[in-house]
Homo-oligomer: A and B are copies of this chain.
Amino acid sequence: MQVKLASSYGFCFGVKRAIKIAESYENSATMGPLIHNQNEIDRLKNNFNVGLYNSLSEVKKDDTVIIRTHGIPKDELRNLKKNKDAKVINATCPFVTTPQQIVKKMSKENYSILIFGDSTHPEVKGVKSYGEDQEDVHVVMSVKDLDKINFKYDKIATVAQTTKKKEVYLEIVNALILKNKEVRVFNTICDATFENQDAARDLSKEVDIMIVIGGKNSSNTKQLHAICLENCTDSYLIENSKELEKQWFKDKKICGITAGASTPDWIIQEVVNKVEEYNENF
């Protein structure tokens, strides 16, 4: 079987960086799961003894604690450093640190703050926590949510959750521009998610079968799968090589492979190897 990998797939820059950091701190622990992939968390535990804390109360004095890619709220970080006296290794993605710092600076300069994103997402909780006046930091998911907001100022600064869609951000920003004197728009959306999607779209047009590797509960992986199905009806979503089924590949010549943002390279490589073997057996 001829295998073609998408031109962009799997981990983004921030996740690759966080894993490298974790690998270099043996016997440490991450605050919350480093990524949404249990196989990779197990590998870090088995090979580097990197553990997992789910709350501050589990942290012991002098522990080395790794902050994961999407960051944590300001107060939690402070508690970790001061009250717990832990050694804190910050693996927050630089693309997430940026909106945190923007919110801090802009609220100090008396701008009302608008965050486009999901208020329950850890990244957004972290970014929001950097506002000086928490009552004037507003989180919206769509332009409709703006109606409910009373901004303190007519100068608004906006940031977006890194994985959000630009089109929706522009809709929100446009509505604000029409109603306010100044809107200071920071483009904090990261292209990584969309690069994987664009590459999957292109590849799925030129293959007989498409394999999408990632968590079945991961919204990002499900979106990749939906995009592939638009162009290639034989598109399958699997979590690892064990789920491959030989009969899928009957009479197929080219197999495209892509992977969600939380899928490690070694899992992808196992899939590639197994699919290539089918070549010989039909």
Contacts and interface: CB of A to CB of B under 8 A. Distances in A.
A113 to B, nearest CB: 14
Contact of A178 (B166, B178, B183): B166
Interface string A175-211: 0011011111111000000000000000000000000
A275 interface: no
Integer count of this chain's copies in the complex: 2
Contact of A185 (B166, B184, B187): B184
A177 B185 contact: yes
B186 A185 contact: no
Which bracket fits the contact residues of A? 10 to 19
A173 interface: yes
A177 to B, nearest CB: 5
A186 B170 CA distance: 15
Contacts of A173: 174, 177, 185
Contacts of A183: 184-185, 187
A170 to B, nearest CB: 5
A192 to B, nearest CB: 16
A6 B127 CA distance: 49
A182 B186 contact: yes
Given A173-B177, A183-B185, 7 more contacts: A170-B177, A173-B185, A174-B174, A177-B185, A178-B187, A181-B187, A183-B184
Interface of A: 166, 169-170, 173-174, 177-178, 180-187
13 contacts: A166-B178, A170-B177, A173-B174, A173-B185, A174-B174, A178-B187, A181-B186, A182-B185, A182-B187, A183-B185, A184-B184, A184-B185, A185-B185
